[in-house]
């Protein structure tokens, strides 16, 4: 008798508690949901709508899948897609490995030195894209840039190279600048993560006679795995969204050598006023990024168990 009374009493309480949770949950979510729905989801839906229309400065009419069909026949879109994927596939691993390597070295140093190096690597991030591009444009300048000056002085090349104007080197120049602006945050993250590795395990390993490399792979790497996956996701998204560099340095040239989907969308929407077509490409790009991210998140979930 008492048992049943207790159980039904708890159920009533639990229902009340659940309702409280729901209300509290949504109340707490309210501010961010408001901004999110209003300024991210709503424009996103509009974008989806526009992608099915023929929307230019002079007309606005329903066009079905015309934009999407056009996209798959557009040679420049294909080139842009390839360039974008090259950028992502090259920059993400290099960023991760480089930042890990740097972090592994500077985390062993005295506090002051670590701080100094950490700041130095973070500098390009805080300097701002406009300022960074102005400097790099000068560095890569064919006639009076410092890169050619140094290379000629050191005898590495015998003619001024046209770094940004040569289709074979332009994309790699963009990639280099992208790397300098990408490694800052991962280095900071890795330094902290390495410092938080359980020291007792490391000492136990060294007592057991493990080499540095073995200690790293068996002990440190698993412990910094969550950081690694976090960095992978963020760097991927940043690489896909690389835009200011290309717009300010090469405008997608020479001959579409540095054309990325992001820039091509901008070009179609703002230069040619093909808003419908631009929106359609945007939707496709969003789907691609979402797919990449979903994959990375799945990996993260399985590792964290």
Q: Does 52 bind another protein (CB under 8 A)?
A: no
Return the residue of 81, 96, 178, 194 that touches another protein, per CB under 8 A: 194
Strand pairing partners for 62? 53
Helix (H) or strand (E) holding 61: strand 60-62
Q: Does 1 bind another protein (CB under 8 A)?
A: no
Return the residue of 2, 4, 12, 32 that touches another protein, per CB under 8 A: 32
Q: Does 92 bind another protein (CB under 8 A)?
A: no
Q: Does 29 bind another protein (CB under 8 A)?
A: yes
* Least CB distance to another protein at residue 193 (A): 6
d(CA 271, CA 56): 11
How many positions of this chain bind another protein (CB under 8 A)?
A: 128
Return the residue of 290, 295, 298, 301 that touches another protein, per CB under 8 A: 290
Identify whether the C-beta of residue 184 lies closer than 8 Å to the C-beta of residue 122.
Answer: yes
* Least CB distance to another protein at residue 285 (A): 6
Identify whether the C-beta of residue 229 lies closer than 8 Å to the C-beta of residue 299.
Answer: yes
Q: Does 10 bind another protein (CB under 8 A)?
A: no
* Least CB distance to another protein at residue 66 (A): 16
Q: Does 277 bind another protein (CB under 8 A)?
A: no
Q: Considering beta carbons, is residue 6 or 105 the nearer one to another protein? A: 105
| Direct distance between the N- and C-terminal alpha carbons of the chain, in angstroms, rounded to an integer | 42
Nearest 10 degrees: Cα torsion 31, 50, 268, 246: 20
* Least CB distance to another protein at residue 69 (A): 18
Chain positions 95 to 134 lying near another protein, rule: CB under 8 A, are 101-102, 105-111, 114-115, 117-132, 134
Chain positions 63 to 82 lying near another protein, rule: CB under 8 A, are none
248-253, long-range: CB within 8 Å, 24+ apart, which pairs? 248/129, 248/130, 248/133, 248/134, 248/137, 249/133, 249/136, 249/137, 249/164, 249/173, 249/174, 249/177, 250/164, 250/170, 250/174, 253/170
Return the residue of 66, 85, 253, 299 that touches another protein, per CB under 8 A: 253
Query: Measured between alpha carbons, how far is residue 171 from residues 151, 175, 237, 250, 304 in Å?
Result: 19, 6, 18, 9, 36
């Amino acid at each position: 008798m008492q048992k049943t009374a207790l159980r039904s009493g708890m159920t009533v309480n639990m229902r009340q508690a659940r309702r409280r949770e729901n209300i509290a949950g949504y109340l707490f979510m309210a501010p961010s949901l408001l901004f999110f729905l209003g300024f991210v989801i709503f424009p996103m839906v509009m974008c989806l709508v526009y992608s099915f229309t023929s929307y230019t400065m002079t007309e606005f009419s329903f066009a079905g899948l015309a934009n999407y069909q056009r996209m798959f026949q557009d040679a420049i879109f294909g080139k842009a897609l390839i360039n974008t994927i090259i950028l992502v596939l090259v920059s993400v691993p290099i960023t991760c490995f480089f930042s890990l390597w740097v972090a592994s070295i500077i985390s062993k140093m005295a506090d002051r030195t670590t701080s100094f190096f950490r700041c130095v690597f973070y500098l390009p991030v805080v300097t701002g894209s406009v300022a960074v591009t102005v400097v790099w444009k000068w560095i890569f300048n064919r006639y009076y840039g410092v890169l050619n000056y140094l290379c000629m002085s050191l005898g590495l090349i015998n003619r001024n190279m046209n770094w940004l104007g040569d289709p074979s080197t332009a994309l790699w120049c963009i990639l280099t600048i992208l790397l300098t602006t990408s490694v800052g945050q991962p280095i900071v993250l890795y330094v902290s993560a390495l410092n938080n590795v359980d020291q007792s395990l490391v000492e136990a390993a060294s007592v057991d006679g493990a080499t540095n490399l073995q200690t790293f792979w068996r002990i440190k790497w698993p412990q910094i795995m969550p950081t690694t996956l976090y960095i992978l996701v963020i760097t991927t998204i940043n690489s896909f969204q690389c835009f200011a560099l290309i717009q300010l340095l090469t405008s997608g040239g020479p001959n579409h050598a540095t054309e990325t989907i992001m820039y091509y969308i901008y070009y179609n929407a703002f230069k040619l006023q093909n808003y419908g077509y631009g929106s359609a490409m945007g939707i496709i790009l969003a789907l691609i990024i979402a797919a990449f991210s979903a994959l990375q998140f799945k990996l993260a979930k399985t590792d964290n168990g």
